[in-house]
Amino acid sequence: MATISDVARLSGLSRSTVSRVLNNYPYVSEEKKRLVNEAMEQLNYFPNASAQKLRNQKTETIAVLIPMLTNPFFAYLLQGIDTIATENGFQLLVCQTRYDKEKELNFLNLLKSKQVDGIILTSIENSWDQLEPFLKYGPIVMCNEYEKTAKNVPSVRLDQVYGGYIATRHLIEKGHSTIAYCRGAFRSGIASDREIGYRLALEEFNLPYREELMFRAAADSRDGEEVFKKLMTLKERPTGIFTGSDQVAAGIIKQAKLNGIEVPKELAVVGFDDQPIAEIVVPEITTVKQPIHEIGEKAMGLMLNLLLPNESDSIEEVELQLQLIERAST
Amino acid sequence: MATISDVARLSGLSRSTVSRVLNNYPYVSEEKKRLVNEAMEQLNYFPNASAQKLRNQKTETIAVLIPMLTNPFFAYLLQGIDTIATENGFQLLVCQTRYDKEKELNFLNLLKSKQVDGIILTSIENSWDQLEPFLKYGPIVMCNEYEKTAKNVPSVRLDQVYGGYIATRHLIEKGHSTIAYCRGAFRSGIASDREIGYRLALEEFNLPYREELMFRAAADSRDGEEVFKKLMTLKERPTGIFTGSDQVAAGIIKQAKLNGIEVPKELAVVGFDDQPIAEIVVPEITTVKQPIHEIGEKAMGLMLNLLLPNESDSIEEVELQLQLIERAST
DNA sequence: TTGTAGGCGTTATCAG
DNA sequence: CTGATAACGCCTACAA
């Protein structure tokens, strides 16, 4: 590949001038500009990105840490992030942690090696103390998952306590008094918050909290199927269940159908997220809608704010709303 | 951030020696090694990636061009690629083309700017003539989508003609004689090949090919629902339908249920891919299984072969098998 | 408006 | 085994 020197040589000008044309500097005569452009054309010149990054000390690249690409929730989140990133000329380095603490920690080094200008966290595997020190090396933005103790990190928040509350209350209002809660298997402030909301609703309606109605599954439909089976073994079977994702809800509904349990008559199911699958399954799934794409957009927006401090007011926090969508599964 | 010079200074050695320690060179005395490591520790040193890339002329990064992250097929493909990439210390730059020719072309410039060592294409928006010239600048590997005219590109292939054939034959053997085919909306050699297979099967069993049974939808369940509605308006309704993805199949099945059409008795449905959704929906979807994760793994494997020519034999082509999975929807 | 020179942080070559 | 030096390709004072 040709370098800037080749272009300079061919056009009979200096490297500086070529660079100026390249970067649209104001004071270059049309004449030389033409010359340079011709030379670039002829040599099929393209600037070397590593050289630019080294020189400019920035990369226009953001690392996005994601547990699992195949979890549709994260795919949508990523797409939201990508939308805003692309609009602003940023690239995304996608980093799958696979729910692994060590991997997560390694990826944070991307900041130290200046391979990326910032990092967006969509989950947290380590405790915040572990991650905090990396703030020294560049901006970190959190979305989806969050840490209450982390005061100084810009983040996109949703009131997950409220989410758990409205889901549970909805079931209660539908006449259910024995309601299970099925959360993810991993360490998660989100899941815990929703559980708080779940309990809040129970309390409000004077319903007892019962340990045997709590399930910890991972996040997919197969886990949902397992949960259903366990449900069937309980002495006192719940008539309603609130789950951490639509995938899990779908798995439960599937097994219910296969076992002749009618949804929602015999078992009412509430999902979470409002992913496409919520509307594919029959009956469609009542769910707590998260504006997933928007969460991603806002997160990347926060990142840009930190990176380009020209936009006067640097918003450091965004709050988005959860919303119950009632469908046929309750 | 500290640089290699800082480490050199603090340890009282030269930059060369520091660099040698950094890169595990053989001939460094244990003594100095210790000194260097201490200094690095103390300064919290981390090598600058851009400088290394500039110097070494390689990036250990691969760009993966993908139409849409939220299409689960591509999410799984990407995860397959990521698995092998990670194992070998490579990073992935994820590039969404959103089915846009121009975006695709722009991403290819990553090769010219040496931002990545290679590119994996999971779809093709432009004609191959447009893309071919970029081969000069680095390796390109194709998986999933392919171009028959592209002789000289390593690729992971699946016999999509066969896929279309076995799906259609299966429906015929189930007793259907009016069979629809529903493909994606975009330009695609895959979809065309499957159509060839579809026709082959019809011919073999002396069934007529009929234009009105061909549908062009995009790729998701909502499109499937639309297709179902169109199906219902036909004078002579098909009793079997073969679709380009499990998503579309799921959409069709959903609308069938909602409209009191029994699957498979009144309408048999065959999907494609064998994605998780194929087993979530009731009835479960008969489908042509693609080893999606493996396709991704093999593609990245081919890329590594091109990049690290030490592995004597450079395999330039991988062929994987499609397989019909019979489930309750047929 | 243009050119010269120096440095961004590494690593490879060569000499010692 | 270790150190000096040049070079990777680009950008930006500074000088002209």
pLDDT digits (tens, 9 = 90+) for A11-33: 999 999 999 999 999 889 999 99
Q: Distance (Å, rounded) from C-alpha A95 to C-alpha B120?
A: 17
Residue of B nearest to A110 (CA): B49
Is the CB of residue B59 inside 7 Å of nucleic acid strand D? no
Of A53, A94, A109, the CB nearest to B94: A94
Of B54, B78, B221, the CB nearest to A276: B221
* pLDDT of amino acid B217: 79
* pLDDT of amino acid A313: 60
Q: Which of A320, A243, A241, A228 is nearest to A275 (CA)?
A: A243
Is the CB of residue B15 inside 7 Å of nucleic acid strand D? yes
The 10s digit of each residue's pLDDT in A80-120 is: 999 999 999 999 999 999 999 999 999 999 999 999 999 99
Of B46, B94, B115, the CB nearest to A49: B115
Residues 6+ apart with CB under 8 A from B115: A49, A50, B59, B61, B63, B93
CA of A19 to C1' of C4 (A): 14
Is the CB of residue B312 inside 7 Å of nucleic acid strand D? no
Residues of B in contact with A93 (CB under 8 A): 91-94
CA of A17 to C1' of C1 (A): 10
Nucleotide with C1' nearest the A46 CA:
D9
Contact state of B91 with A93 under an 8 Å Cβ cutoff: yes
Does residue B295 sit in helix, strand or coil? helix
Average pLDDT across chain B, whole number:
94
Write out residues in chain B with pLDDT < 70, as ranges: 310-315
Inter-residue contact A156 to A322 (CB < 8 Å):
no
* pLDDT of amino acid A312: 55
* pLDDT of amino acid B311: 59
Contact state of A1 with B54 under an 8 Å Cβ cutoff: no
Is the CB of residue A49 inside 7 Å of nucleic acid strand D? no
Q: If you count residue pairs, one on A and one on B, with CB atoms under 8 Å apart, how many are there?
A: 121
CB < 7 Å to strand D — which of 19-38 in chain B?
20, 26-29, 31-32
Mutation target among B50, B68, B279 for the A interface, most CBs of A within 10 A: B50
Q: Which of B99, B80, B71 is nearest to B247 (CA)?
A: B71
What residue is closest to C8 (Cα–C1')?
A55
* pLDDT of amino acid B159: 96
Assign residue A288 a region (left: φ > 0; alpha: ψ between -120 and 50; beta: otherwise): beta
What residue is closest to C11 (Cα–C1')?
B55
Q: Which of A246, A178, A242 is nearest to A215 (CA)?
A: A242
Residue A148 has pLDDT above 90, yes or no: no
Domains contained in chain B, CATH given: 4-56 (1.10.260.40), 61-158+292-320 (3.40.50.2300), 160-289 (3.40.50.2300)
Residue A146 has pLDDT above 90, yes or no: no
Average pLDDT over residues A280-289: 97
Residues of B in contact with A59 (CB under 8 A): 50
* pLDDT of amino acid A147: 74
* pLDDT of amino acid B1: 86
Contact state of B277 with A277 under an 8 Å Cβ cutoff: yes
Question: Which residue did the predictor score with more confidence, A316 or A19?
Answer: A19
Contact state of A276 with B76 under an 8 Å Cβ cutoff: no
DSSP per residue, A78-145: HHHHHHHHHHTT-EEEEEE-TT-HHHHHHHHHHHHTTS-SEEEES---S-HHHHGGGGGGS-EEEESS
Is the CB of residue A13 inside 7 Å of nucleic acid strand C? yes
CA of B19 to C1' of D5 (A): 15
The 10s digit of each residue's pLDDT in A160-215 is: 999 999 999 999 999 999 999 999 877 788 999 999 999 999 999 999 999 999 99
The 10s digit of each residue's pLDDT in B259-307 is: 999 999 999 999 999 999 999 999 999 999 999 999 999 999 999 999 9
Q: Distance (Å, rounded) from C-alpha B50 to C-alpha B56?
A: 10
Q: Distance (Å, rounded) from C-alpha B285 to C-alpha A202?
A: 39
* pLDDT of amino acid A214: 94
